[in-house]
Structure 1
Amino acid sequence: MKRSSAQGIQARDAPGRKAVPWQADGVPVTRQQIADYLASLQARGCVEGSVKKYSRDLTLFYDFLPDGKEITRSTLEEWRAELLAHGYAPRTVNAALSEANGFLEWLDLRKYQLVGQLDIGDDVQPELTRTEYLRLLSTARALEKRRTYLLVKVFACTGLSLQELPRLTVEAVRDNRLIVTSNGLRQILHIPASLQDDLTRYIHRMGLVSGPVFVSRNGKPINRTAVTAAIQGLAQDARVPPEKCNPRCLRKLYQSTMAGIEAGVQLLVEQTHERLLEQEQLTVGWEEVNEP
């Protein structure tokens, strides 16, 4: 897959835009600047749905930035690599980068933009099979990688997204559910009993009392890049293609599994209803009488 490096373009002053202090090594950005940019899009007549999508993607971009929240010449290229590692399709990555480029354009930070797009080809998202999923679990267990084992299970058994992982707390495990927000809608995810048992043992083993279940040594929620790297670390031993070993593909496996179960249940409902109607027809059906 061909990638282009970031190219600098001479910046110029633009009235009415948020001023950004220039630094040699990087430029800090803020959530307020993102909010102001989104407001400017609305003022220019951008539709609400598009503004919401820009908001989600730019928030994801902001969360990716290091602690100082500074942008450098390599930032967008690094973000692109992370999105691909997390399993996002090239078309989705291109769209997210385009939105980030637009934000940097508005800030007059053109030299930090990333020029060029990924070749989307057929843009087919790789799909993880349940057999491959079970091999990932078996490998993590054989290698005694308990946390990675649980991460694989969490994404595949709950449909939780990587961004929502910090919401999986000690309290959520105890209550057997966690509350997430999807496309602006509040959603309750059920934690299966077998997974709850595994997580409870892990919580006791780690001495956790409250807060996120998966944390780093300093007690902060585990870095998303580290999550994906841990899962991809199972690929070779599990004989699963690396591009399938990420939270996104595990979540997609959950969604396809649930869709298959729901389709089977719906078919069973229809068949049961049909048999009920047939029984009623035998009892009170309107029988035609052949007259001579």
Structure 2
Amino acid sequence: YIGYGEFKVKALKLQRQVFCDNKREISEEEYKQLITAAEKKGNLRLALLIEAICSTGIRVSELKYITYSSLFSRRAVVDCKGKRRVIMLPQKLCMRLKTYCRDKGIGGGSVFVTRSGKPMDRSNIWKSMKKLCGSAGVSPPKVFPHNLRHLFARIFYELEKDIARLADILGHSSIETTRVYIITSGNEHERIIERMGLVV
């Protein structure tokens, strides 16, 4: 409208994110450091909760479905928004949680509960994990519950290379959502292209 009709504005197309941010993605070693830190602080419940999220890919909001009875079937049945999803629980995790339940006198209902018997909420879990950062030696921006799901997804995909199956396990309706979870670091990509040895 200013007399330059031949000028056009084009939207800049951005390539889909190829690499994850190393400063935010937690590593397997850092995950183990968090568990060790929680155990040293005497917070076994938090240590087991961290293991439960990372070893199953379960959402924080779904932790309440890990019940005492699910430890015997090794399956947590999640009912949410009219959909049902079955989450497989590793045998070793179930054994540890059974021992925890026995020691805490938990004989039914959700395993991860407060002293009043209510399922732990997202904010309390988030705060408890953040308190581990210093003693665990892990950068705070990396430490939050959802990041454990990302670590589960990356390790699963490294082993299986089946994104459709991973999407089902995580409860994603779109594979595009799952792609975000399995983005690798730039450092890993560098190692791969160096290993290829195609520069003569």
TM-score by length of 1: 0.46
Q: Map Cα deviations across residues 123-164 of structure 1 (whole Å, 9 max, x no partner).
A: 999211101111111111222210110011011001010111
Tell me how far 1:186 sits from its aligned partner.
2.4
Q: Which residue matches 1:135?
A: 33
Q: Map Cα deviations across residues 20-47 of structure 1 (whole Å, 9 max, x no partner).
A: xxxxxxxxxxxxxxxxxxxxxxxxxxxx
Tell me how far 1:184 sits from its aligned partner.
5.7
Q: Which residue matches 2:159?
A: 261
Q: For 2:46, what is the secondary structure of its paired residue?
A: helix
Amino acid at match of 1:237: S
1:194 to 71, 80, 92: 92
CA contact (8 A) 2:23 2:142 kept: no
1:252 to 135, 150, 153: 150
Q: Identify the structure with bigger relative contact order (alpha carbons < 8 Å, sequence gap 6+).
A: 2
Task: State how many pairs are aligned.
Answer: 143
Tell me how far 1:247 sits from its aligned partner.
1.1
Q: For 2:110, what is the secondary structure of its paired residue?
A: coil
Q: Distance in 1 between matches of 2:76 and 2:157?
A: 21
Q: Distance in 1 between matches of 2:82 and 2:22?
A: 27
Larger Rg: 1
Asked if 1:220 corresponds to 2:118, the answer is yes
Amino acid at match of 1:169: T
Residue ranges of structure 2 left out of the alignment (5+ in a row): 1-19, 163-200
Q: Judging changes above 3 Å, is the alpha-carbon distance between structure 1 residues 229 and 258 closer, same or farther for their aligned structure 2 residues?
A: same
Q: Distance in 1 between matches of 2:63 and 2:114?
A: 13
Q: Distance in 1 between matches of 2:61 and 2:36?
A: 25
Q: Distance in 1 between matches of 2:23 and 2:68?
A: 33
Identity of aligned residues (%): 29
Q: Distance in 1 between matches of 2:161 and 2:81?
A: 24
Q: What is the aligned-residue RMSD (CA, Å)?
A: 2.3
2:127 to 218, 229, 233: 229
Greater Cα shift, 182-191 or 218-227: 182-191
Q: Distance in 2 between matches of 1:261 and 1:222?
A: 31
Q: Which residue matches 1:165?
A: 63
Residue ranges of structure 1 left out of the alignment (5+ in a row): 1-121, 265-292
Q: Which residue matches 1:145?
A: 43
Q: Distance in 2 between matches of 1:218 and 1:174?
A: 24
1:176 to 62, 74, 96: 74
